[in-house]
Chains A and B, each alone.
Chain A
Amino acid sequence: MTKKLLKGNHALAEAAVRAGCEGFFGYPITPSTEFLEYMSSRMPELGRAFVQAESEVAAINMVYGAACAGKRTMTASSSPGVSLMMEGLSYIAGTEVPAVLVNVMRGGPGLGNIAPSQGDYNQMVKGGGHGDYFPIVIAPASVQESIDYTMLAFDLADKYRTLVYVIVDGNIGQMMEPAEMPPMREIPTEAPDWAVTGAEGRDPIALSSIYIDPYDEEVTNLRLLKKKLEIEKNEVIFKEFFMEDAEIVIIGFGTAGRISLSAVREAREQGIKVGLIRPITLFPFPFERIAEAAEQAKSFLVVEMNTGMMLDDIQVAVKGKIPVEFYGRLGGVTPFPDEILSEINRINENPPTDPNLDARADWVKRLEKAIEGSN
């Protein structure tokens, strides 16, 4: 196989097709729309189901139906659309059927804008819908990773009968990069034994998220929690760069992590001992690796395209051992490598010493100055 120049949304969609997705249900929204457009021709061509739903509410409930029917199924949307899907996502989680959601995140809250953002971290990683459940969340940083992790998303969804969210920002959805597609997977001929297929020669199956007796719901919640613990044990994925002797460690996911890598490379050329950890699974989160890195590094710099949502998780891992600094751009603004490089330089010249420093408050002052300066 050779690499081809592929657009993020198209690559994500084709990867889902090759992973054996038999039902796509969606509603147009920038910056994820090309996903739906691609599926509108590709799925029927293969004799697979495609419906442009009347809303994201309907789309996710179609996914819910197809998932109960035992077929690989998914939807793709962007932030405001994903908000509308929260009801269905919670039902899918409660019924313990596998499904995949791709969220191409944009600036918010509200209608916000169509520019790339990571502002849905909390909504995606911490559940978002009602009740106790734990979707797997994967954050690719390139078109190739989008392909690879979409394939994985379907496998993990089936393995744990869980929701898997692949979250990228609009940059990755819209950009074109050379990437390689894996071969088409075979569609299984047998339905899983838990699926509704018509009760031919067997007792009927009922799939539901209702547990009217609280003791039954408690057992269900406990089962979901144990699944979460199992996932945390087995499925953590991250990448790291220049970590051997790093004194300053940058942590960022998706686009923020990728841009940080450019800054880290430059800083290394200047002789600064800086490394990067880029979490790929945001749930399960690489707490262990980050705690370990906190033993080695003098300080952390968390870089995000939001107000520091992952920062809170990093601080949990660091347990106040070393100072953690933060740099974020908001509302659909993507940081430039230079901005991160100057953060690295600042930290290198004036290393923070107070492990209890209020990273967010300090950064707000710096960002306000930067915004003033650019006006």
Chain B
Amino acid sequence: MATLTTDPIQVYKRPVGLTEVHSHYCPGCTHGISHRLIAEVLDEMGLREKTIGVAPVGCSVFAYKYLNTDYVEAAHGRAPAMATGIKRVRPENIVYTYQGDGDLASIGMAEIMHAAGRGENITVIFINNAIYGMTGGQMAPTTLPGMKTTSSPKGRDVEMAGFPIKMSEILATMQGSSYIVRRSLHDPAYIRKSKKAIRKAFETQVRGMGFSLVELLSTCPTNWKVTPYEALQFVEDSMIPVFPLGDFKVHPEIAKLKV
């Protein structure tokens, strides 16, 4: 009888960068996936003990409980300003913000634009779920035309409430930004690409090349009022057409990187 001669190889483990606690995220929410990707990247790059994260106001307000690095908790929308303050006095640290779309594209519009404009050497992980999750599903600046929310109950009427704001496209126009891409968390292949993008964003910062941002299309089954599976479908069918995935600005040095 054949016996097992090789030792088992571990192919999957919890990253050191993630704490061992249960998160408060709803079932099927992809906030947790992005946390894991960040943790894996920081582990792989050996940056965990150098990193200071800046959590937003939004569903990920407790990101600091889940990510196993030093963390601060910013006021709503102000994470890029807070990150600027930290990075300027501690340039030797890796500093990143984690922000939702209400946080980044509405109340924090000035802070994100100017952080990019200054070429602030920070990384931004931008979770676009097209809705205000934490406050119970109001319209966000990224809400799709016609999409129903608690503050656009008949669907976003672009005549009244305007159009979704495409942050990656806008931020790519800033001379200070070096790496601006949009990815999605709705299925494994896309998740792998998201991880590579997060890696490249941190590589941009490590090289002192200025502002980097990864926009991640994310789900909010709770406030979209759909099942987790339907939420993933919604990203594919409805969000990607409005928020096309792609590289909006990639510094040639970073484009050359194999990760």
Which residue of chain B lies nearest to A200 when distances are taken between CB atoms in the complex? B49
* Contact across chains for B70 and A205 when beta carbons are under 8 A apart: yes
Which residue of chain B lies nearest to A50 when distances are taken between CB atoms in the complex? B88
A65 within 8 A of B: yes
Which residue of chain B lies nearest to A191 when distances are taken between CB atoms in the complex? B90
Interface flags for A63-96 (1: CB within 8 Å of B; 0: not) read: 1111111010100000000000001100100010
Interface flags for A5-35 (1: CB within 8 Å of B; 0: not) read: 0000000000000000011010000000000
Distance between Cα atoms of A336 and B168 in the complex (Å) = 58
* Contact across chains for A65 and B73 when beta carbons are under 8 A apart: no
- B75 surroundings in chain A (CB, below 8 A): 61, 64, 87-88, 91
Secondary structure of the A contact surface, majority rule: mixed
Residues of B within 8 Å of A, CB-based: how many?
A: 36
Choose from A61, A199, A206 the contact partner of B65 (Cβ within 8 Å): A206
Interface flags for A44-75 (1: CB within 8 Å of B; 0: not) read: 00000101011101110111111111010100
* Contact across chains for A197 and B90 when beta carbons are under 8 A apart: yes
Which residue of chain A lies nearest to B118 when distances are taken between CB atoms in the complex? A51
- B82 surroundings in chain A (CB, below 8 A): 61-62, 64-65, 68
A207 within 8 A of B: yes
- B72 surroundings in chain A (CB, below 8 A): 64-65, 68, 95, 196, 206-208
Distance between Cα atoms of A207 and B114 in the complex (Å) = 24
B81 within 8 A of A: yes
In chain B between 85 and 112, which residues have their CB closer than 8 angstroms to a CB of chain A?
A: 85-90, 93-94, 110-111
B61 within 8 A of A: yes
- B111 surroundings in chain A (CB, below 8 A): 54, 57-58, 61
B69 within 8 A of A: yes
- Chain A: minimal CB distance from B96 (Å): 12
- Chain A: minimal CB distance from B122 (Å): 10
Q: Which residue among A22, A71, A199 has the maximum number of chain B CB atoms within 10 Å of its CB? A: A199
* Contact across chains for B114 and A54 when beta carbons are under 8 A apart: yes
In chain B between 50 and 81, which residues have their CB closer than 8 angstroms to a CB of chain A?
A: 50-52, 54-55, 61, 64-65, 68-75, 78, 81
- Chain A: minimal CB distance from B124 (Å): 14
- B51 surroundings in chain A (CB, below 8 A): 198
Distance between Cα atoms of A206 and B74 in the complex (Å) = 11
- B81 surroundings in chain A (CB, below 8 A): 53, 57-59, 61-62, 64-65
* Contact across chains for A73 and B114 when beta carbons are under 8 A apart: no
Choose from B64, B71, B88 the contact partner of A62 (Cβ within 8 Å): B88
B182 within 8 A of A: no
Choose from B52, B90, B110 the contact partner of A57 (Cβ within 8 Å): B110
Residues of A within 8 Å of B, CB-based: how many?
A: 39
* Contact across chains for B65 and A23 when beta carbons are under 8 A apart: no
Q: A53-B114, A54-B110, A54-B111 are in contact. Are A197 and B85 (CB under 8 A)?
A: no
Distance between Cα atoms of A61 and B65 in the complex (Å) = 22
Distance between Cα atoms of A334 and B118 in the complex (Å) = 41
- Chain B: minimal CB distance from A366 (Å): 45
Q: A197-B90, A201-B49 are in contact. Are A69 and B73 (CB under 8 A)?
A: no
B83 within 8 A of A: yes
* Contact across chains for B68 and A65 when beta carbons are under 8 A apart: no
Distance between Cα atoms of A76 and B90 in the complex (Å) = 21
B residues neighboring A (CB under 8 Å) = 48-52, 54-55, 61, 64-65, 68-75, 78, 81-90, 93-94, 110-111, 113-114, 118
A residues neighboring B (CB under 8 Å) = 22-23, 25, 49, 51, 53-55, 57-59, 61-69, 71, 73, 87-88, 91, 95, 196-201, 204-210
| Sampled A-B contacts (19; CB under 8 Å) | A22-B89, A23-B88, A25-B84, A53-B81, A59-B81, A61-B75, A61-B82, A61-B85, A62-B82, A64-B72, A65-B81, A65-B85, A65-B89, A68-B85, A71-B89, A198-B49, A199-B68, A208-B55, A208-B72
Further pairs besides A198-B52, A204-B69: 5, Cβ < 8 Å: A58-B110, A65-B87, A198-B51, A199-B70, A210-B73
